Amino acid sequence: MSQGLFQWAQIAVEYISGGSPKLRLEELLESPSLFDGLDSMYAQILSKAYETAKKRRGRGELLLHLLRTLEAAQYPVSPEIFTYLSSDRLMFRNKSQQQSIQLLRLEIACDIGSLLYIPGSPRQPMRLVHTSVRDLLVDQGRCGAEPYFIDLSREHRNLATQCFELMEQDLQPNICGLSDLSESNSEVQDVVEHKVSKGLQYCCRSWLKHLVGGDWSSEMAGALLEAALNNLMRLSKTELLCWLEIMSLVEATLEALEMEKQACAWLQASDQRNQATK
């Protein structure tokens, strides 16, 4: 009980100090659900942030996309990784990554600073401030029809698609431009840091977990499943060596081998489901 009260107080202080203290304190005090618990305060902050963001084109949806990505991500997501994964979004198009990160800080996440930690460094991970925030976001019974409810299976499908598309776009042979291929990985890490973005590394290491984590069985997911199968086929036929190169450069070769086994198992299970529905 006391832990919940302390968490409520901490979030309230963060929220009040993140804007006009007088106005935000009045918002909390006027809420009919005051002291009903953390869910009520989280819902109030999320709803207010979304309503404010959606007044400007693309910002509301990008705020939801940020929350969804952080919830479904298989590895820590930094501002650098998020803007890479979201580079096709309207607000980030034709922007440098530095500009996109500034937009993320100042325009997208500015009103949920009490619930979301965004580090000063673009390479440090963002995170929700408490597991209770995550628990709310993925529970439809508690979120109801609110737009910030997160369907994890759908987000895994979306992120799998994003990973495949970005790998198709950015994978290339000898991506680091090494002239001496006999050098060990430990000798070229400075080059890897410069040439292989953290976002592309995330895609290479996460596509399978998102693929497996998605629910592809619904009727609406049929076209998406076909696209996912095509993406996987393309990766195995035309991009496999480039993907393995990056996995080796980031010292994840054994992980890559395990991913290949799991991908084969997923394909077999998908084929069996397709046969069963015919």
pLDDT in tens, 54-92: 888 889 999 999 999 999 999 999 999 999 999 999 889
Is 84 part of any domain? yes
Do 134 and 157 belong together in one domain? Answer: no
Are the C-beta atoms of 71 and 134 separated by less than 8 Å? yes
Is 192 part of any domain? yes
State the residue range of the domain holding 172. 152-277
Do 86 and 139 belong together in one domain? Answer: yes
Do 133 and 106 belong together in one domain? Answer: yes
Do 80 and 119 belong together in one domain? Answer: yes
* CB neighbour class for 238 (10 Å; exposed up to 12, middle 13-18, buried from 19): exposed
Do 139 and 157 belong together in one domain? Answer: no
Gap between the Cα atoms of 173 and 151, Å rounded: 36
pLDDT in tens, 245-263: 999 999 999 999 999 999 9
Do 200 and 251 belong together in one domain? Answer: yes
Encoded tokens for 184:
């060990």
Among 109, 143, 177, give the residue marking a domain's end: 143
pLDDT in tens, 200-225: 999 999 999 999 998 877 655 677 78
Is 171 part of any domain? yes
Are the C-beta atoms of 187 and 221 separated by less than 8 Å? no
Do 176 and 262 belong together in one domain? Answer: yes
Gap between the Cα atoms of 37 and 39, Å rounded: 6
In the chain, how many domains are there?
Answer: 2
Q: Which H or E run contains 127?
A: strand 127-128
Closest CA to 116 of 153, 85, 82: 82
